[in-house]
Amino acid sequence: MRASTEKYVRAGISGLVAVGCGVASGELVALAVSPFASPYQAVAAFLVDHSPAFAREFAIHTFGTNDKQALMFGMVAVIVVLAVVAGILQARRPPLGLVVVVLFAAFGVLAAVTRPTFEPFYILPPAVSGLVSGLVLVLLCRGAQPRSDGPVESGEGPARSSVGGGWSRRQFAGAIGVLAVASAASVLVARQVARTGGVIAERMRAVLPKVSSAAAPIPAGTDVAVDGVTPFVTGNGTFYRIDTALQVPQLSTRDWRLRIHGMVDREITLSWDDLMSMPAMERIITLSCVSNEVGGDLAGNARWLGFPMRDILDRAGVRSGADMLLSTSIDGWTSGTPLQAITDGRDAMLAIGMNGEPLPLEHGYPVRQVIPGLYGFVSACKWVVDWEITRFDRAQAYWTKRGWGVRAPIKTASRIDRPAPLSRQPAGRVVVAGTAWAQHRGVRGVEVRVDDGPWQPATLATEYSVDTWRQWTWDWDATPGQHTVHCRATDAAGRTQPEQRVAPIPDGATGWHSRVFRIEG
Ligand X SMILES: Nc1nc2c(c(=O)[nH]1)N[C@H]1C(S)=C(S)[C@@H](COP(=O)(O)O)O[C@H]1N2
Which residues here bind Mo ion, judged by CB under 5 A? 242, 289, 376-377
Q: Which does 462 bind (CB under 5 to 8 A by kind): ligand X, Mo ion, none?
A: none
- Cβ proximity to Mo ion: between 122 and 398 the closer is 398
Closest distance between ligand X and the C-beta of residue 510, in Å? Answer: 18
Q: Which does 469 bind (CB under 5 to 8 A by kind): ligand X, Mo ion, none?
A: none
Please return the burial class of 479, using the count of CB atoms within 10 Å of its CB with bins 0-12, 13-18 and 19+.
Answer: exposed
Closest distance between Mo ion and the C-beta of residue 59, in Å? Answer: 13
Q: What is the largest CA-CA distance in the chain?
A: 90
- Cβ proximity to ligand X: between 138 and 289 the closer is 289
- Cβ proximity to Mo ion: between 241 and 257 the closer is 241
Q: Which does 510 bind (CB under 5 to 8 A by kind): Mo ion, ligand X, none?
A: none
Q: Which does 383 bind (CB under 5 to 8 A by kind): Mo ion, ligand X, none?
A: ligand X
Closest distance between Mo ion and the C-beta of residue 452, in Å? Answer: 34
Phi, psi of 42 (to 5 degrees): -65, -45
- Cβ proximity to ligand X: between 285 and 446 the closer is 285
- Cβ proximity to ligand X: between 397 and 433 the closer is 397
Q: Among 164, 128, 332, which Cα is nearest to 243's?
A: 332
Quick check: helix, strand or coil at residue 320? coil
- The residues of the shown chain that bind ligand X, judged by CB under 6 A, are 239-245, 287, 289, 329, 333, 363, 376-377, 380-383
Q: Which does 513 bind (CB under 5 to 8 A by kind): ligand X, Mo ion, none?
A: none
Q: How far apart are CA 154 and CA 209, in angstroms?
A: 77
Cα-only R_g, the chain: 28
Closest distance between Mo ion and the C-beta of residue 405, in Å? Answer: 11
Closest distance between Mo ion and the C-beta of residue 2, in Å? Answer: 54
Q: Which does 105 bind (CB under 5 to 8 A by kind): ligand X, Mo ion, none?
A: none
| Nearest residue to ligand X on Cβ basis | 376
Three-state SS string over 186-252 comes to HHHHHHHHHHHHCHHHHHHHCCCCCEEECCCCCCCCCCCCCCCCCCCCCCCCCCCCCCCCCCCCCCC
Closest distance between ligand X and the C-beta of residue 47, in Å? Answer: 15
Q: Which does 363 bind (CB under 5 to 8 A by kind): Mo ion, ligand X, none?
A: ligand X
Quick check: helix, strand or coil at residue 118? coil
- Cβ proximity to Mo ion: between 298 and 309 the closer is 298
CB 101 within 8 A of CB 22: yes
- Cβ proximity to ligand X: between 318 and 408 the closer is 408
Closest distance between ligand X and the C-beta of residue 335, in Å? Answer: 6
- What separation in angstroms does the CA of 482 have from each of 76, 111, 431, 433, 448? 45, 53, 16, 18, 16
Estimate the share of the chain in helix, then strand, then coil, as percent rounded to the nearest 5. Answer: 35, 25, 40
